[in-house]
Amino acid sequence: MSLNKIYYLISSLLAFLAAFIYFSPVVVTTDFIYPLRIDSSYVSLHDKLPEEGLLPPETNFEDVIRLYNPASLGLEYSEFNVKTLDNLILRGWYVAAPDTPANTIILLHDLNQSKINLLDHIKQFRDRGLNVCAIDLRAHGSSDGMEFTPGLPAILDIKMVIDQLLLTPETNHLIIMGFGLSSAIAMQIAAYDGRCDVVILQSPSNNLGTYLDRYAYRKWGFMQFLWYPVFKRKVEDLLQFSIRELDLSVIARYCKTPTLFITAAEDNISFTTEILAIYDSSSARRKSLFLVKEATRSTMEEVAGAAYYNRITEFINISLPRKPKSTRYKRLTFNDKQRDDRQDI
């Protein structure tokens, strides 16, 4: 091989490497890290929400009533805003039960969703006697932030939410419910925080590594080998720990909190076998598995109807302690600035 050919070969490889380094941040800018923003503007500008695209083709979307907030369902609500430790604002809704004091359920939406997607849950749980707090996770909906992670930042965010809820006099016990990827956040809160008395996991994935493998295949196909390493490093930087450490079947061994597992028989993202693995390894004082037959990830509530909400409420009622817990460790996290402000008073 002549020197000219060797020179051109090396030049081509260097050019390819430079292009790879230059374009990698663009290609791996995925909606896992930079989620879709679903807020009132999104609802008003789009014909249907993302999950509605998974409904049967015969669905008539012209008949779908657009909902923007609990008032769309005739519910009184208040804005529930929380400042995070890094001074972002998480924005949510708080809907009080007709009778107070009552138990409070915290709803954590799935990736690329928002509290708007949970309006039906808000109404149904409120009608069943629960206070409801639905919060937009960071980088979702109307909350601040540009990057999302189910790791340490999300755990600290929800700790701040719990802090604020425990200051409301109408709150007895706390229940936390995570949907999809947020199930990982809910499980970590239950295991490491300890102030929630019941945890409900809907469509959880066993471990984040498997979830990301499937995500990368759906996004990049056979080219995932090229982009996945860059994507993985970015995810781990945001998690602030290794991807393999977010394994719910391991975390569940250390969680004694009563846990309800909910899964759809035809879920093609979180397989039933994975959820069974988490269920089997769980050390919860009380645990139950709710399988919704002939349902997909996005149609469980529609297929099961009132039985879906009744099953959840029943599990909550039989799992909660009879008396509110009294603890001097109610507030486990503080905003550093708020702590300094208190010291100055």
pLDDT value of position 16:
64
Task: Show the DSSP H helices in the chain as ranges.
Answer: 3-27, 40-45, 119-127, 152-165, 182-192, 208-220, 224-239, 248-251, 272-281, 300-304, 306-319, 336-344
Amino acid at 137: L
Q: What is the pLDDT of residue 204?
A: 96
Q: Is the peptide bond before 101 cis (omega within 30 degrees of 0)?
A: yes
Strands 131-135 and 89-95: antiparallel
Question: CA 268, CA 167: separation in Å to the nearest integer?
Answer: 40
Phi and psi angles of residue 206, each rounded to the nearest 5 degrees, phi first: -60, -50
Amino acid found at 204: P
Dist CA 121 CA 104 (whole Å): 13
Per-residue DSSP letters for 230-292? HHHHHHHHHHTS-GGG-BHHHHGGG--S-EEEEEETT-SSS-HHHHHHHHHH---SSEEEEEE
Report residue 109: phi and psi, to 5°.
-70, 165
Per-residue pLDDT of the chain (345 residues; tens, 9 = 90+): 577 777 777 777 777 655 555 555 545 568 899 898 887 665 655 555 555 554 455 555 444 456 689 998 999 999 999 999 999 999 999 999 988 789 999 999 999 999 999 999 999 999 999 999 999 999 999 999 999 999 999 999 999 999 999 998 888 899 999 999 999 999 999 999 989 999 999 999 999 999 999 999 888 888 787 778 888 999 999 999 999 999 999 999 999 999 999 999 999 889 999 999 999 999 999 999 999 999 999 999 999 999 999 999 999 999 998 765 554 444 444 444 444 443 343
Write down all domains in the chain, each with its CATH number in brackets.
30-37+70-322+332-344 (3.40.50.1820)
* φ and ψ of 178, to 5 deg: -110, 140
pTM for this predicted structure:
0.83
Task: Using DSSP, state whether 60 is helix, strand or coil.
Answer: coil
Q: What is the four-CA torsion angle of 98, 105, 329, 89, rounded to 10 degrees?
A: -100
Torsion from C-alpha of 13, 17, 23, 29, nearest 10 degrees: 130
